[in-house]
Amino acid sequence: MNPTQFPAWSALARRTAAAPAPSYGALARKPAQELTVEAAGLRADLSRHWLADDTLPLLLELAEQAELPAWRQRLFDGAAINVTEQRRAGHTALRSDTEPGLVAARGRMLALAEALRAGTLRGATGAPIDTVVCCGIGGSDLGPRLVTEALGPPSGAARLHFVANIDPVELAAALAQARPERTLVVAISKSFTTMETLANTRAALRWLHAAGLAPERQLYAITAAPARAQAFGVPAAQVLDFPDWVGGRYSLWSPCGLPIALAHGGGAFDELLAGAAALDAHFLTAPLARNLPALLGLLGVLYINFHGLRTRAVFAYAQRLRYLAPYLQQLEMESLGKRVSRDGAPLGFDTSAVVWGDVGTPAQHSVFQFLHQGTQVAPVDFITCAAFEHSADERERLLYASALAQADALAGGDAVLGTDASNAAEPLRCPGGRPSSFIAFADFSPRSLGALLALFEHRTFVQSVIWGINAFDQFGVEIGKKLLSKRLPGQ
């Protein structure tokens, strides 16, 4: 299906050509509650978007014409919607208890995490393991790293380190205070061919061997290719596997989430899954007009294809979410960075936005000049914790108020200050009319975080359906790996 042939696409093109961007005054006519949607403990105020009276109905028509409800059902039914690789995209199944094999794999992972937390897992000399070094990259690193930090200081007996970069500095820092006889190395790689992960794992094993240890005794693997892990030298009993239909950027819900369970406990991991499952249920059942992932995805299509806005900024007003922007970069740009349709036909329109961002409030003192007065308009997602609004800590109240103030300033410009912008000197003017979403999650519980991440997964899927592309392959990631292998003798 070519979406440019849908009647709603043509109508949207005519509508936005006639009135490219509504003024702040036009936006302000609608009460915020009319465009505020709640789902699974999340609350999103969409009232600052370029939604004229007839724009949202046309976007909803576009979703129906692209058969979004049917594709949504196929996702949850486990159909082979990853058409190039002929397999399902089953990350939602990882959040349920309906498939015994997935439940058993999760149980093995949680048992290992609890043994490490309790200090009962022993190394080659019989000493208890007190340091775990997780070697991974991309989805095998970003998701677990984001969630582990977002849930606050870790508990349990074992210290946890993430190593993604093949720059030796990162592994050296992880091993600096570690004792070899008490250190466990965990290699996390779906294919178990990832160059960076295997190079760092080999370096860590050499460090163990140099201490006179049998390194394989202190090596675990988490992979969809257990035979490769065993050929690498990981004992079969120390391989945790998961299905090959789990994409790397969706793998934190699988045994790849070991670092999360290790840092915060099996109960926290189960609650993370429960939060994501609650958002899954909302996405599957809510009508499109009140369906939060659907609305966010449709807004993305509106800005990219009808307003020519090719970037989107994400600012989390919470230091514990400092990895959210990089995580979303991979999720969205790897999923949506496609140049052909599902059937291989070249596309005649743009797909993925460039996703970028940082944490507030530091970003206000760097890139916000571009957002307020730059020539390019970038829609913004403001993400913060609802509990901050009435926190006992003044700084958390300031975080929430800062996010809200920036959203209002982008939308209203000088008008929100009650000044006559037309009389201001031109270099001083902030024109406003810059769109944003204001998304608040309830608290820093695993359940809230699970819902937040699932929201962005489904938002990404919605956009892929409208554009008729496959969001679940990533062949562009592979070409550099293949070229590198040709440049490295013996690899």
Which positions are catalytic?
A: 334, 365, 481
CA distances from 84 to 192, 344, 460 (A): 21, 9, 18
CB proximity list for 256: less than 8 A, separation 6 or greater? 136, 139, 140, 143, 144, 188, 222, 242, 246
Q: What is the distance between the terminal CA atoms of the chain, rounded to a whole angstrom?
A: 42
- Take residue 210 and report the two structure tokens written for it: 């140099």
Q: What is the b/e burial string over 208-241, where b = at least 16 CB atoms within 10 angstroms of the residue's CB?
A: beeeebebbebbbbbbbbbebbbebebeeebbbb
Tally of CB atoms within 10 A around 268: 20
Whose tokens are 């190394």? That residue is: 123
